[in-house]
Structure 1
Amino acid sequence: MAISIPKTMRSLCIRRFGTPSKWEIADLPTPKITRGDEVLVKVHAAAINPTDIGAARGKYWPAFNVPLPYKIGYDLAGTVVERGSEVTKFNVGDEVFCCLPFKDRGKYGTGAVSEYALLAETLVVSKPRNLNFMEAASIPMVALTALQMLDKVPGGVQGKTVFIPAGLSGVGSAAVQMAKNSYGAEKVITTVSTRKIPMIDGLMSKGVVDESIDYTKVNPAKMIPDNSIDVMIDSIGATFSSLALLKNGGMIVACAGPPSSGRNLRNISTDVPFLIEKILDFVNGIVRWWVGRYQVKFDTVLMKSNGTELERIKTWVEEGKLRPVVGKVLKFADLEGIKEECGRIMKGRGGVGKVVIDIIAD
């Protein structure tokens, strides 16, 4: 039986770039399938990432021609309500989760915090059977970012000591679990605030983190011996303050702080102007040179949506190697609550895990 799809949908968006206080929920056209390999998903839950807030503030405007109104959100979980003629992996009614691309074949893919979302079949993955929609929506972007960072390490992290600051943040909580449970790190060190230390084992299972440092009481750089870390996974911009901790030949992979290369940005979208690409490559080259003075290798990651990698993540979730860390769940209708919570994220005031929005009211 055919599912009736409305011509318009509610979507969290911004008509002019600005802070979360300017966000609104508006009626916008429901996306339509125009290619045989596309699926339309009715969104049950979506997650908010710092990247969403940065994009809505116009952070990426110099590099991308971002259309307005800008629909917010990348992470979602929901059910397939329509599929293109070439789709073979999914049927109407299938439960899925995914990370929308920033741009896909000329279409801007953002807009997870909406009633419907459209994307290519290759980016969609069946929802892990052991998760509900809220939990599933919290995973894609942070887990894909962590995976792509860990995959950057030559020879991997198996048997190594890995430092991952902010272990109960979005990317941090995924990275510490994956480093130990999926990639075989020997020792995982992280930082958290005082109140979060007792939460670590409960949220991520005992033994995932080997050493927790309360950064509110002591400087992690004073607690960790110099030349003792093999790999640092940096999602908070702590690269320059941590260089002395790395062994000679060690590796830092960052998704925050020092700018990514123009090449990485072009991997997300070919819209990047040539001049901006070259400026970013130049700045990134200076950072690599500076870090290299400490006999440390350095690389950056800009997460790119990838269905094959998300399948790997789904397997780890179902095997119990990766648990979702959901911090707060808000109703879609609670616009003021969404603005307030996203304002907190923007200011870097530490919550726990991911903020998830319940799109379909109970």
Structure 2
Amino acid sequence: MRSLCTRRFGPPSKWEIADLPTPKITRGDEVLVRVHAAAINPTDIGGALGRYWPAFSVPLPFKIGYDLAGTVAATGNEVTKVKVGDEVFCCLPFKDREKYGSGSVSEYALITQTLVISKPKNLNFVEAASIPLVALTAIQMFDKVPGGVDGKTVFVPAGLSGVGSVAAQMAKNAYGAGKVITTVSTTKLSMVDNLLGKGVVDETIDYTKINPAKTIPQNSIDVVIDSIGATFSSLALLKRGGIIVACAGPPPSGHNVRNISTEVPFLIGKILDFLDAITRWWVGRYQVKFDSVLMKPNGSELERIKEWVEEGKIKPVVGKVLKFENLEGIKEECTRIMKGKGGVGKVVINIIAD
């Protein structure tokens, strides 16, 4: 099968589309998916750059991608949840029982039946592929908020980013936030209501002209959902007893890393836990709480997300769609993501045109 991969750790310029062995079902609970579309996330690029190898023995060639939507091509003899031909979507695990799960930007991908979910009926493959990782990250971030966000003021920086676009919608439409505040650049101001839905965001700040930390009143925010590393710049905005939940910025705790792989070296886990303790101590000086999330795929959570999508509570935000054959275009977009240059929503690769 063809797969987007890198034979040695490095930037997108080193990536290639190579012929690699098609994954084979070796366990009764496995599902082989023929991939129609796959999305790119910053974590995919981090893996390809080799940022995981100090903590995990990541094999080469490293296959790119975790998000996908496609059709079931084959199943193990214990699978009852789906059948051949079913349209599904999922987020591949980083590692599952000694098998590395990355490689959604490929013609085929292998996953256990507990993590594969039938595709939302109101989405095409491209739209469905854009959802899993960012929505699972968002739902796991909200689950860290004591008492939830119902009626509360929630600050979601970068509301048209991958995680931000889903988190803003989830806050208002699924969890009942009283007020949602976000930030975008000047050119994206007019896109917020159109892409996220009118009334989802109550206040949009143009961060290129106004510093959010100076325009949002201090001690006025209950919850910050941080996917861009805005933890420390947001501290003064939080009410006493408020909370920041981050998936970017401060390093993940050793506990969070061990949650996705048991092979984390003892010393690295302890160092990460120490750094996490320092972050919590620093944040605690402002009399607020801090927690972090390192997303782990979860089938029941993705099922909830699918229901919210079908109910119209969450809309996918797809920024750019590329053909699988357009390797140079893929490299260009992934280089932009690597450099942190703002885009809108997710980059999705069409493996098989709808």
Q: TM-score, normalised by structure 1?
A: 0.97
Matched letter for residue 218 of structure 2: D
- The match for 1:141 is 133
Match among 331, 336, 339 for residue 331 of structure 2: 339
Deviation track 1:213-264 (CA, whole Å, cap 9, x = no partner) reads 0000010001100000000000000101110000000000000000111000
- The match for 1:235 is 227
- The match for 2:54 is 62
* Residue 151, structure 1, aligned to residue 143, structure 2: yes
Shift of 1:322: 0.1
Matched letter for residue 25 of structure 1: I
* Residue 126, structure 1, aligned to residue 118, structure 2: yes
Q: Percent identity?
A: 81
Deviation track 1:145-201 (CA, whole Å, cap 9, x = no partner) reads 000001100000001000000000000000000000000100000000001010011
- Distance, in Å, in 2 between the alignment partners of 1:80 and 1:326 is 24
Match among 54, 71, 80 for residue 72 of structure 2: 80
Match among 104, 107, 112 for residue 99 of structure 2: 107
- The match for 1:42 is 34
Deviation track 1:268-325 (CA, whole Å, cap 9, x = no partner) reads 0001000000000001000000000000100000000011100000000000000000
Q: Name the SS for the 2:182 alignment partner.
A: strand
* Residue 33, structure 1, aligned to residue 22, structure 2: no
- The match for 1:3 is none
- The match for 1:5 is none
Match among 188, 197, 204 for residue 196 of structure 2: 204
Matched letter for residue 71 of structure 2: T
Task: Report 1:249-328 matches (<5 A).
Answer: 249-328=241-320
- The match for 1:189 is 181
Shift of 1:361: 4.2
- Distance, in Å, in 2 between the alignment partners of 1:344 and 1:80 is 32
- Distance, in Å, in 2 between the alignment partners of 1:164 and 1:204 is 13
- The match for 1:360 is 352
Runs (5+) with no aligned partner, structure 1:
1-8
Matched letter for residue 171 of structure 2: A
- Distance, in Å, in 2 between the alignment partners of 1:287 and 1:204 is 32
Runs (5+) with no aligned partner, structure 2:
none
Matched letter for residue 78 of structure 1: G
Q: TM-score, normalised by structure 2?
A: 1.00
- Distance, in Å, in 1 between the alignment partners of 2:230 and 2:194 is 26
Matched letter for residue 288 of structure 1: R
Q: Name the SS for the 1:298 alignment partner.
A: strand
Deviation track 1:78-102 (CA, whole Å, cap 9, x = no partner) reads 0001000000011100000000000
Shift of 1:204: 1.1
Matched letter for residue 260 of structure 2: I
- The match for 2:212 is 220
Shift of 1:360: 1.1
Deviation track 1:99-128 (CA, whole Å, cap 9, x = no partner) reads 000000110000000000001000000000
- Distance, in Å, in 1 between the alignment partners of 2:300 and 2:172 is 21
Equivalent pairs, count: 354
- Distance, in Å, in 1 between the alignment partners of 2:105 and 2:279 is 35
- The match for 2:6 is 14
- Distance, in Å, in 1 between the alignment partners of 2:228 and 2:81 is 37
- The match for 1:89 is 81
- Distance, in Å, in 1 between the alignment partners of 2:316 and 2:151 is 25
Q: Name the SS for the 2:71 alignment partner.
A: strand
Deviation track 1:40-63 (CA, whole Å, cap 9, x = no partner) reads 000000000000001100111101
- Distance, in Å, in 2 between the alignment partners of 1:94 and 1:51 is 28
Matched letter for residue 48 of structure 1: I
